[in-house]
Amino acid sequence: MSDTFCPIPWIFQAARANGDVRVCCQANVTPNRGVLRKHDGTAYNAGKDDLQEARNAELMKTMRSQMLLGEWNEECGRCKQEEEAGLNSRRQYEQLNWNYTIDQAMEETDLDGSIEVDETPLKYFDLRFGNFCNLKCRMCGPTDSDSWYSDWIKITGKDTFKETSGEVKIYQKGNKLVCDDYDWVNHEPFWEHLESNSQHIQHVYFAGGEPMLIERHYDFLERCIKNGSAKNIIVEYNTNMSTLPPRVLKLWEGFKQVRVGASVDGMNEVLEYQRHPAKWNKILKNLKTLDNMPGNIMAWLAFTVTAYNVNHMVDFMKWKLKDSGFKKINSTKRRPIITHHVAHHPKHLNIRVLPDEMKSKIASRFEEFHFWCIEEEIPDNTFKKAMEITKSTMKYMMSDSYYNEYWDEFLDYTKKLDKIRNENLLDVEPVFQEYV
């Protein structure tokens, strides 16, 4: 068994918010961002190019070959790093999710890493229908949220930002700031590609932008219901839970299963600071609605661990276990508390940027949480997961330091955003008092 094998290069296709096709979202932290490129160096784009052809892009062929040999490709570096630190990686997660083995992959792969695309159908899509979003999370930026445009201009002094397609310009149109890189989803060839694969699709993952606010996401759901494929499809979301329209709840009834990853990584002012201008009470109300939905819905709290909220992690888990009252959210054996992942980018918000003394204080809080779980008689499986969450986070945080290289950038970035948004880190997380 290859320790690097992942089913994604065989059965999966992903589009960034600008339509550029990539290996998967985990590769976003590499210089190439996992983007599949043609021989001329330009990106395959879901709004312009042959998406079947993209499946045998040079990067895909190289990646398949390396996986079958037990080697790591550069674009898979995030998963490699997470596994080495004891975190659960996307690769491991997808191995559990899919009954697609290395033996099958070997049978379907030529010596150069290519596959017969008609004989290895796409079963899994990651679709980001643009960057339209109502939040401007601190670890995000204009590539994934158009709400970021004004703050980006203020914090950088630039009306351009770097995308996989090159420099993108922000400009005024009426009373809005806009850019032209995110309308790929309106091109019909993409929809024809989806339609031709609809009989094979088993899983579709939506992120954004904020998918609940993007109209073409609803078009997709309605098409699947109309053509009869919905009953065979699991739809999965990365959503900020700031909105939960009755429309989507009705459409979900037609699908095999709905999985909702709620990007909620704190309570009250911590959440509102990291995911400005989110309102905790509104999000909590939507979570409770989701938790009380009958039928085919499963949901979990997707906690993005950053330098801002890692000290709050313990408080959030205590709340989830004792005070939230959730029945459905994070109720499975695999996810009994929260689903956590470390923000690898930008590096100045990664938890490794924190001063060593602060890391030690946070580690002590994690240790105290272990004893709290014992005192509260947390069930064995949940206790085991609690230990996995805290120990893996602590191991990752302690295993390297970005302090010398990125701490000043953390301070500068935080001060600028605080001024723009009329916020103050110390009001939210006093643990920084000695260091800011």
Query: For 355-394, how does the pLDDT look when each residue is reduced to its tens digit (9 = 90+)?
Result: 999 999 999 999 999 999 999 999 999 999 999 999 999 9
Say yes or no: 33 and 176 in one domain: no
Which of residues 79, 94, 119 is at a domain's end?
119
Say yes or no: 374 and 299 in one domain: yes
Q: Is residue 94 part of a domain?
A: yes
Nearest-CA neighbor of 144 among 25, 33, 42, 16? 16
* 12: its two tokens: 């999966």
Mean pLDDT computed over 393-414: 97
Q: Is residue 28 part of a domain?
A: yes
Q: What is the DSSP letter of 2?
A: -
Mean pLDDT computed over 270-278: 98
pLDDT of residue 334: 87
For 4, the 3-state DSSP assignment is coil
Say yes or no: 270 and 146 in one domain: no
Q: Tell me the pLDDT band of 240, cut-offs 50, 70 and 90.
A: very high
Inform me whether the pLDDT recorded for 1 exceeds 70: no
Inform me whether the pLDDT recorded for 434 exceeds 60: yes
pLDDT of residue 31: 86
Residue 196's contacts (CB-CB under 8 Å, 6 or more residues apart) are: none
Q: Tell me the pLDDT band of 198, cut-offs 50, 70 and 90.
A: confident
Say yes or no: 52 and 79 in one domain: yes
Q: Is residue 229 part of a domain?
A: no
Q: Is residue 262 part of a domain?
A: yes
Which of residues 146, 164, 181 is at a domain's end?
181
Q: Where is mean pLDDT largest: 47-51, 74-78, 408-412?
A: 408-412
Q: Tell me the pLDDT band of 314, cut-offs 50, 70 and 90.
A: very high
Say yes or no: 169 and 296 in one domain: no
Which of residues 94, 119, 144 is at a domain's end?
119
Q: What is the DSSP letter of 277?
A: T
Say yes or no: 64 and 174 in one domain: no
Which amino acid would we find at residue 340? H
Say yes or no: 26 and 86 in one domain: yes
pLDDT of residue 409: 98
Q: Is residue 3 part of a domain?
A: no
Say yes or no: 104 and 150 in one domain: no
Say yes or no: 21 and 56 in one domain: yes
Q: What is the pTM of this model?
A: 0.93
- Looking up tokens 């290895």 gives 120
Say yes or no: 164 and 107 in one domain: no
pLDDT of residue 195: 86
360 or 86: which leads in pLDDT: 360
Inform me whether the pLDDT recorded for 60 exceeds 60: yes
Q: Tell me the pLDDT band of 29, cut-offs 50, 70 and 90.
A: confident
How many domains is the chain partitioned into structurally?
Answer: 3
Give me the percent of the chain exceeding a pLDDT of 90. Answer: 87
Q: Is residue 160 part of a domain?
A: yes
Measure the CA–CA gap between 108 and 171, rounded to whole angstroms. Answer: 47
335 or 306: which leads in pLDDT: 306
Q: Tell me the pLDDT band of 87, cut-offs 50, 70 and 90.
A: confident
Q: Rounded to the nearest 5°, which phi and psi values hold at 100?
A: -125, 110
Q: Is residue 211 part of a domain?
A: no
197 or 210: which leads in pLDDT: 210
Q: Domain span at residue 165? A: 133-181
Task: Please say whether the beta carbons of 353 and 307 come within 8 A.
Answer: yes
Which phi-psi region, left, alpha or beta, contains residue 300 (left: φ > 0; alpha: ψ -120 to 50)?
Answer: beta
- Across 117-256, the runs of DSSP E, i.e. the strands, are 124-128, 160-163, 166-169, 171-173, 176-178, 203-207, 234-239
Say yes or no: 71 and 168 in one domain: no
Q: Tell me the pLDDT band of 239, cut-offs 50, 70 and 90.
A: very high
Q: Is residue 226 part of a domain?
A: no
Q: Mean pLDDT score of the chain, rounded to an integer?
A: 95
pLDDT of residue 16: 95
pLDDT of residue 159: 97
Nearest-CA neighbor of 224 among 202, 208, 209, 249? 202
Say yes or no: 261 and 349 in one domain: yes
196 or 358: which leads in pLDDT: 358
Mean pLDDT computed over 106-133: 95
Measure the CA–CA gap between 363 and 360, rounded to whole angstroms. Answer: 5
